[in-house]
Structure 1
Amino acid sequence: MDIRHFKTFKSIVEEGSFSKAAEKVGYTQSTVTSQIQQLEQALSIKIFEKIGRNMVLTPLGRELIPYTNELLDTIKKIESIGKHNDIKGELRIGIAESLISYKLQNVLKLFKEHAPSVNLFIISENCFVINDMLLKGEIDIGLLYNVGNPQDSLTSVDLADYTLALVCSPLFEKDAVDFCKSNQKISTSLVINETNCIYRRMLERYFRENNIFLDNTIELWSIETIKKSVASNLGISYLPRFVVEEELENNKLNELKIGCSDAKITAIYSYHKNKWISPAMSLFMQLVREDFKI
């Protein structure tokens, strides 16, 4: 059996026709047809059958798909042996903004030092978008927070638990309000990330459950902008404690007590279970685990 025949078979499945597969792999259509016929002879099965004017997969042909994918992934792994000292290719990563800004800069620095030839593509998005991109195969690795909807098709590794803090400006009259008390209207604004931010969802759920209302919400897309806006007394915010530690220590921000002060978010990295773990992907995950000491 020729490995090229399996590659051609996979291209037909992906492209949906012999002609489109021929264009993709750079063969004539007659060559593609010949390769499939040779593969059928080698396996002693019928892979495609003609229904009307179309070539359609037989039941055995459909059964061959996962074995073909596994075989071709194994070939890639074999070809990568001995290449770890000169890792090439590309790596696509989706990272939550707070993690890339405050927790992963050292990992990114080390990765570029160890694999300078890898084209690194980084997308900063909210956790729900990153999760969806992983499921669609649009990125290789996601570094995000556990959003509470586990997917059977994703492999996830816990990295660390982080507490959250409700913060305000030193100018805010913190003694005049009590966020632990239910059924009240508090005259301030919530300065926070966009709607699908995991910790915004947690705070808004707490407010709904306790019938707490604020004047309005100021929605910003930058944690640094949020912190500066809160420091200027435009409102309060709810953020991972590690992103406001410096401001709390320097008294640029103050912390407010709240009934959900024990709430935590869990940082994870995830990848699709069917994803072939390339040398670049393996190195990046190794550096993440080492940095988080897991």
Structure 2
Amino acid sequence: MDIRHLKIFISVAETGSMSATAKTFFITQPSVSQVIKELENHYHLLLFERLGKRLFITPAGQQLLNQAHIVVRQFDALEESFSSLGSKEAIRIGSTITVGACLLTSLITDFKQSNPNIDSFSYVNNTKMIEERLLKAELDIGLVEGEIKHPDLIIEPVIDDYLVIACSRHHHFAGRQELNAQELEKEIFVLREEGSGTRELFIDFARSKDLTLNIGWEVTSPEIIKTIVMRNNCLAAISIRLVTEEIENGDIYAIRHQKAIWNRSFSLVYHKDKHLSPAVSSFMDIARKYGNTDMMITAPVGHLV
């Protein structure tokens, strides 16, 4: 058995298809079947069951899959470390959409100034997708606003943030000092997509209050969300960091929760088995310094009671 056996096994387990795995590895389907058979003979275990035309991983197969991910990840890290000796170092950074919109460009600029000889690749998506890529070792480090749930990922809160409900200056909530949560049920909301940490936090709040939200828009882009709020008289749950300028110039009115239950943190996330290279450590240090970023606004805001 070698590392290729494990990589082929992982592919079969994740795709549920030997033919798809054969195409990925540029081998024949019988060759894939032979690899699985060799693994089963090696461990004296049944790894898959075929029911009809579909493959289903067995409990023993699932245990092997969990361990195989770790072994392959460590092997790839070893290969990367030693194959890159003498070549230019690089870092792969993942950020959620909110973080990408309000902080990532500044973070990358600061990182480049401190590390001019290190290449960087940035990937921006929602919390769920960043989590998946970290687990597959496709990213070195992540900076997210959502809740990370996988036990293999280390989370370090570093930057304070909080949500507000945003409305336009023409909305009938604008200027209100206090609102009741039940009043939200009568309004149309523009929310982020499934998998977004911002959406999850606000939906959890709505469920805790037994609120039925009228979701009229589902949008991934913060800039589009702000445009919809200002032009279509909708409400949006959004990071204060994304609407500070609009609040200050009067285009958007913000409503905070009186008890600050929408407070949260942007967190650094990395795999527990990840080797923290000098590049990764440098990025983490820079992100930690952003924890002191001021979020104060002088314009009046409302409060949800």
TM-score normalised according to structure 1 size: 0.66
Match of 1:40 in 2: none
TM-aligned CA distance change 1:184 to 1:14, over 3 Å: closer
Q: Where does 1:247-262 land on structure 2 (aligned, <5 Å)? A: 247-256=246-255, 258=257, 261-262=260-261
Contact 2:134 2:142 in 1 (8 A): yes
CA distance in 1, matches of 2:164, 2:74: 46
CA distance in 1, matches of 2:172, 2:108: 41
Give the 5 Å matches for 1:1-294: 14=7, 54=38, 88-147=88-147, 149=149, 151-174=150-173, 179-182=179-182, 185-186=185-186, 188-256=187-255, 258=257, 261-292=260-291
Structure 2 residue identity aligned to 1:111:
F
Listed one character per residue, the Cα deviations across residues 216-235 of structure 1 (whole Å, up to 9, x for unaligned) are 42111110111121112430
Distance 1:115 1:236, change over 3 A: same
The residue identity in structure 2 corresponding to 1:89 is E
1:221 to 1:280, Cα distance in 2 relative to 1, 3 A: same
**Contact in 2 for aligned 1:167/1:254 (Cα 8 Å):** yes
Give deviations 1:71-111, integer Å, cap 9, x for gaps. 99689879989x8xxx8233222101221221232220122
With over 3 angstroms needed to count, the CA separation of the structure-2 counterparts of 1:197 and 1:77, relative to structure 1, is closer
For structure 1, the 5+ residue unaligned runs are 1-7, 17-23, 25-52
Distance across 1 between alignment mates of 2:223 and 2:106: 19
Give the secondary structure class of the aligned counterpart of 1:254: strand
Cα deviation code 1:36-74 (max 9, x no counterpart): xxxxxxxxxxxxxxxxx9597689xx99xx999979968
- 2:190 & 2:76 partners in 1: Cα distance? 49
Deviation at 1:168, TM superposition (A): 0.4
Bigger CA radius of gyration: 1
Residue 249 of structure 1, CA deviation: 1.2
What percentage of aligned pairs have identical amino acids?
A: 22
8 Å contact kept, 1:248–1:254: yes
Alpha-carbon distance, 1:159 to partner: 0.2
Distance 1:76 1:171, change over 3 A: closer
Unaligned runs of 5+ residues in structure 2 are 10-24, 26-36, 45-63, 294-305
Matched AA of 2:273: N
Equivalent residue of 1:232, what SS? Answer: helix
Task: Report how many residues are paired.
Answer: 244
RMSD: 4.0
Counterpart code for 1:199? T
Q: Could you list the runs of 4 or more consecutive aligned residues of structure 1 that deviate by over 6 angstroms after TM superposition?
A: 66-81, 175-178
How far the C-alpha of 1:195 sits from its partner, in A, is: 2.2
Per the normalisation by structure 2, the TM-score is: 0.64
